[in-house]
Structure 1
Amino acid sequence: MKDHLDLSIFPPKSQYKRSCKNIFFSYLPNNTNFQQGYLGVQQTKIAGILHVRRPITNPLLTDKIEIIFTGKEFVKWSELEMCKNVNKKIIELSYVIWESSIKGVYQKITDLDLPFEIPLPDDLPDSLFFKHPVKAQISYSLKAKFSKPTKYFGLKCGVKKISILCPITRWNLPVRPTLQPIPMNARSSIPPSGGVEYVANLDQTIFGIGNSIIIPIELILKNMRVYVKKIKIFLKEYHQLMRKKFIHYNSEKVVKSEVYGDQLMLVSGTLNRYEVKAGLDLITKNKRKPIMPSVQSDHIVVWHKVKVKVILCNAPKIKFEKEIRIVNSLCGEDALMITEERRKSNWSNWSKMDKLSAKAVYNLSIS
């Protein structure tokens, strides 16, 4: 019975789209989601267990049980623009996980546990959801489908279904910094001869959620009346929803930090050259507005820019910006484990090829 099972392996009730109290899903033991593996980095699958617990007096009558994994891209415009709504199926995979031992004969089921596995293609986008500028989401679900006899004689069968949300996350291996600095684009009304010289760089343009962005900034203040009041750094997230020529667009600051003028370090041996390494932690304190990974699908695009604003006294402000990519990045230990698995797999494949080559040469030599 369900009471004897570890309740921590059961998805919350809020995750069900269509539920039944005596037919339900669970994760595999020692897991907290259906996704197994790091999608985008290694072969990934959806795995879990479907449970049937029906009373003897009211068994489940079926001859076939299917598990269906479905992904959809959905955009809901305003009521005036409903004709432009998007509800596109990204993927649908169906597997029969149980069949009657006698074809066409319905069995009475009261107690059954059915493990299942569904391999995933590598190109699936992340699950996402937001409401501005309009409601949009990429969502995945698991559905259990039971063929049932109808109340009337005939060829058609009735169907019973339960379904549950199945979030999907894409991953990246950690990105190594580049050897050469990547300049950020700068904008200012100050001409180079106007008393201020400036540069800001990045050492990479792909960053993991939860990591930090370090931005070295260099300022040369040739005019003694000019000084730095504050440096503002922020990550801006852009959402673009499209259908043919119909586009909705929104942007918002998701994380930010500040550096004050007295925190700038004067370069040793100079009187007017300042350096600072501005930092931005890619963690949002507001759980309702987490940072989204960068996404590009047919109708939903999410991208990011790092922006820096240098506020000066007695001179116009200077602005830097650079488009970057935000990903879910593996921690060092997981990345090393996967890299080692790949190395062993490649070595095994090469070893098999060498043996086949040697066998082919041997066969040629004796023929």
Structure 2
Amino acid sequence: MTASASSKRIPITSYIRQNDNVSFSFAQNKDTFQSGILGNEDTYLEGTLHLDYEKPTQINRIVLNLKGEEKTKSYENQTLYTGAKLLVNRNYCIQDEEKTITQLDVPFKVSLPHGLPESVTIYDDSGEEIGGINYVLGVIVERKGFLKTTQKVKIRCPLKKTLIMNTTAYQLCGNWGNLLNYSLELPQNNTFAINSSVSIPIKLRLFRSGISIEKVDVTLKTFVNFSFSIPRRVSRKIKEITVASTTVPRHELQENYGNREYSLAAELDIPPGTKPTNTRPGTLIQIIHQLCIKCHLRGATDFVLKELITIANIRQPLGFAKTFQKHVPLSLSSDEPNKAVRGEEDDYIYVYDQNNEQFYSYGISSGSELE
């Protein structure tokens, strides 16, 4: 068996453990082992294993191993808190017959378990890695001889989750007391694409005379929470990051004096290094993103709208259509400290408590509401 000429050999820097006789390459026209959309049943690891010896060598068996781990750590008051969770540890036999070879290329395509989270690495402000979800692909080559020997190689195997989106926009609308009405359009399913520019059309209509809009701030924040098991079980907010922000001053607002309506389009640039949302129940690392719109009012208390959103890798460009998904958020102002939104699983709801600056997940039955 020979590898395709279009397959791509993997650089040495990707290897954790090397061997002169054993190496990997990606499948044709690929730059990753992953084939298919992560989380679906049709997701695979695909590539070619290369064996190269100076003299004839007897091979008994070749076994691949995929190991995935989630780890967290943080120093607080000179105490090291750590957490670890094994996500997957699976073997795949790709060669199970004796062969005498000098060179051998073994293509492989093996199924990934369902529901694996994507790879992510979290750094502190000094650039030190403090947590992450990482996968390692290993291989064990059993050789026959006077003394049975094995050769082991390990290589980093990052996994990436990609969502497929349509062009239906998500409309957020409602009233804030007797002061104003608001409506805005977000990408479908409240999902923003990594490494993209997002335009958010916003309309605000004032109900009362004597108040006016001074400016509108739009901010996208990331909250990273870690869970630890040593020296005791505890959760902490590790980081709060402003991903993107923009301010639209009064003179840039489009104003309709007849009905006291203001229109604007807030532009946010989502950087390529933005961490994807991760709210899976039981995970040690929670990554949550919150969109905050603050309308500075003259003659009244400022209006604040907070909405949990998803940030992900998107297969298709985001766009808008004439039909909308409508939603009224549970939290409309800083006077209401809790913001709730359904998670990825139907039976969980995530709540952000501003007083404690923590997100919590609660199990609920279908159709339940948060009290």
Q: What TM-score comes out, normalization by structure 1 length?
A: 0.71
Q: CA deviation at 1:148?
A: 4.1
- Provide, for residues 126-152 of structure 1, a one-character-per-residue CA deviation record: whole Å limited to 9, x for no partner: 111112387111111211112246876
- How many percent of aligned residue pairs carry the same amino acid? 22
SS of 2:251's partner is helix
Distance 1:197 1:100, change over 3 A: closer
Residue 28 (structure 1) aligns with: 27
Hey, what's the Cα distance between the residues in 2 that align with 1:86 and 1:158?
35
Query: Residue 174 of structure 2 contacts residue 181 of structure 2 at CA under 8 Å; is this kept in 1?
Result: no
1:20-169 alignment to 2 at 5 Å? 20-40=19-39, 43-56=42-55, 62-78=59-75, 80-82=78-80, 84-101=81-98, 108-132=100-124, 135-148=130-143, 157-169=148-160
Hey, what's the Cα distance between the residues in 1 that align with 2:197 and 2:116?
24
Q: CA deviation at 1:162?
A: 0.6
Hey, what's the Cα distance between the residues in 2 that align with 1:121 and 1:100?
26
1:164-175 alignment to 2 at 5 Å? 164-175=155-166
Q: In the alignment, which of 200, 213, 217 is matched to residue 214 of structure 1?
A: 200
Q: CA RMSD in A?
A: 3.3
More helix by share: 1
SS of 1:46's partner is strand
User: Can you give the 5+ residue segments of structure 1 that lack an aligned partner in the other structure?
Assistant: 102-106, 334-367
Query: Residue 17 of structure 1 contacts residue 165 of structure 1 at CA under 8 Å; is this kept in 2?
Result: yes
SS of 1:78's partner is strand
- Provide, for residues 100-121 of structure 1, a one-character-per-residue CA deviation record: whole Å limited to 9, x for no partner: 43xxxxx553211000111113
Q: CA deviation at 1:291?
A: 3.6
Q: What TM-score comes out, normalization by structure 2 length?
A: 0.71
User: Can you give the 5+ residue segments of structure 2 that lack an aligned partner in the other structure?
Assistant: 319-371
Aligned partner letter, 1:252: I
The more displaced of 254-263 and 307-316 is 307-316
Q: CA deviation at 1:217?
A: 3.1
- Provide, for residues 17-76 of structure 1, a one-character-per-residue CA deviation record: whole Å limited to 9, x for no partner: 1122442100111112111112245611110000112223xx655421111122111123
Hey, what's the Cα distance between the residues in 1 that align with 2:47 and 2:174?
46
Aligned partner letter, 1:163: K
Query: Residue 212 of structure 2 contacts residue 297 of structure 2 at CA under 8 Å; is this kept in 1?
Result: yes
Distance 1:314 1:268, change over 3 A: closer
User: Which structure's CA Rg is the greater one?
Assistant: 1
Distance 1:97 1:8, change over 3 A: closer
SS of 2:161's partner is coil
Query: Residue 67 of structure 1 contacts residue 145 of structure 1 at CA under 8 Å; is this kept in 2?
Result: yes
2:296 paired with 1:311: yes
Query: Residue 38 of structure 2 contacts residue 118 of structure 2 at CA under 8 Å; is this kept in 1?
Result: no
Query: Residue 73 of structure 2 contacts residue 228 of structure 2 at CA under 8 Å; is this kept in 1?
Result: no
Give the count of matched residue pairs: 305
Residue 293 (structure 1) aligns with: 277
The more displaced of 312-321 and 254-263 is 312-321
